[in-house]
Structure 1
Amino acid sequence: MNTLININNLFLSIIPAEITGLPKMAMIALIYLGIFAVLGLYLVLLERKVAAWFQLRLGPNRVGYHGLLQTMADALKLVSKELTGTVKADKFLYNLAPYFVIITSLMALGIFPFTQKLQAYDLNIGLFFLIAISSIGVIGILLGGWSSNNKFSLIGAMRSGVQTISYELSVGLSLLTMVLLTQSLQLSEIVEVQKNGWLIVQGHIPAIIAFMVFMIAGTAETNRAPFDMVEAESELGAGFHTEYSGMKFAYFFLAEFINMFIIAAIATTVFFGGWLSPFGVTESIPWLGVFWFLAKTFILVFLMMWFRWTFPRLRVDQLLTLEWKYLLPINLVNIVIMAVIVWLNLSIQF
């Protein structure tokens, strides 16, 4: 123990005080990168198993026990593949685009409170940060589609821009509805407010409507079916990442699944109590909070996968009509109703 203390003191004496936090930050970043990779791979496996279940198939069942290592084998295959590209592509932007998508997903993952004490960074504007950082990911898609110098990639990228800009409004307004109820943007405080009951219960009907709108708009934000016009295979080949291969393709592919997890995690935190147990606060066993957080999140992930394998793909006009003629007006009315409810509750308290 003395040796450890001495080494720590030596470390502090050699390195300036303002730099001593860097090794800890680097270690946390490496841990989150590991979580990111494992989570992405096994969300892909879950998707394939769920698809097989809906279609009465077995799904992956060769590599590992019941196919548990199938996505690991697919990842190794992608790592070994040659990185190809078109001759006329804008090389700098073409190579930069996948990193925009992957880094924004990783940054969003870093501020979720998995338990009361397990959180990389607790921002006082956490919910606002999530909305802002999720909007940056579309830049990677736009850059990838435009720089590929492929008309199908460009069409996919343009569709992504239109879709993201449209459905961001509903995502933001549905979360703002809950901010009115919690009076806070900090994720840890939002969870603390729910110790007496989940917000989807505390907020009554407006909270239920906000949750439904958020899940629909969130699914559209992640470009997943039935809102996958960005990658419409029957029209655009693979959409914005048609010209990508190997690990660059894998970055786009993994980011889609991580974004799905992020949307589900936001809903878990804001509507369903985050790491809190449905049967009471689990302060006596803190790590049990991780189980409850992941259990709720994966139930919502399953719901989003259910959407994909149930509903047919929408046309572009139907996609925009759903947002601008239905979801947005519903959201605007809903936020006014929530404001009235909060005002009445405050009036009664005073």
Structure 2
Amino acid sequence: MSDRFRPLYHPAGHDGELRAAVQELRTGRWLSMRKMLADTRGWPLWTQRTQVLAAVAAGSDTVHTWLAEEPDSTAAVVMQTRVTVERALRAHREGHARTTDLWQQAWEACGDTARLVPADPVPWVCLLALAQLDGKQRMEENRLAPPGPMLFPGPWALLAEADKRDPGNREAYHRMLQFVYARRSDGSLSEAVNFVQWAASSASEGSALQALPLFVRVERYRREGGNEKALDLHWVTEDATRDALRALNIWFDHCVPGEASLLDLNYLAHALWGSLQLAEAARVFEALGPYYTPLPWAYRARSPNDTGQVEEVFARARARCFAAAAERKPDS
């Protein structure tokens, strides 16, 4: 491994409380999850933590057990809704025969939870997640007129409800981006580009939405079948460099890295490295510490499913950026 460094992947990243809750959840226990959620303050952190927990809990009945023992717990209700939605999404990805039934159950659970906890953005985020299962936009709520030119008909009212409760909710906008991909069968990314530019242009300093354009750029690279040999052709362009530096200056420089999405930090480090802004990328790698996410680095590996290769790509990029940053420092 380059630089004798082996990166770590954990869905909780820097969030120590969430890591502990995830560990207990994997053993079928829910008390740490309950306590952590009771102590969670702020909708951004609440949304992020419930999303991670649901991805872990979807393969077990642990949340169902919690809700059965504490039926009056709103946190347990929210988590059960999260798990129900996650299962519907997984069934859809796997082409499961019960997808429609699970989708209906999840959709009803979201409505019930939205009425139970009207201030919580999570039920609306979950409805946005389910919208991607309606790629042909048969449901009226998923084909509403857009709020601006160059945008597409879609679940704009759902996004507005999430936005009203937590302006700029990161997951809500990423779910909307996934809907964009699901509604088009021709592979065009123009609608995705228009959406992320619209979202980023109206987002505040420090908002994770400033990093959204980096995700579309990686998706284009993936669809073009890119790999490392195309690095200079795809990434070292004026547009790519501008997107990377904008995310650095308007998002990263104004956020608390330890509270930022691990995925966003990886996409930013990747974009800066790819556009040869190596010393700037070193700052993001420093904020990442030992953690990484397989994406987007997997798209640079010869075998994207080979964890060792993906880790190697990340470690080599990290080492190169740290070396460039060290060269830039004046002699002491």
Which of the two has higher C-alpha Rg? Answer: 1
Instruction: Give the alignment's TM-score, normalised by structure 2.
Output: 0.29
Task: Answer 1 or 2: which has greater helix percent.
Answer: 1
Give the structure, 1 or 2, with the largest relative contact order (CA under 8 Å, sep 6 or more).
1
Instruction: Give the alignment's TM-score, normalised by structure 1.
Output: 0.28
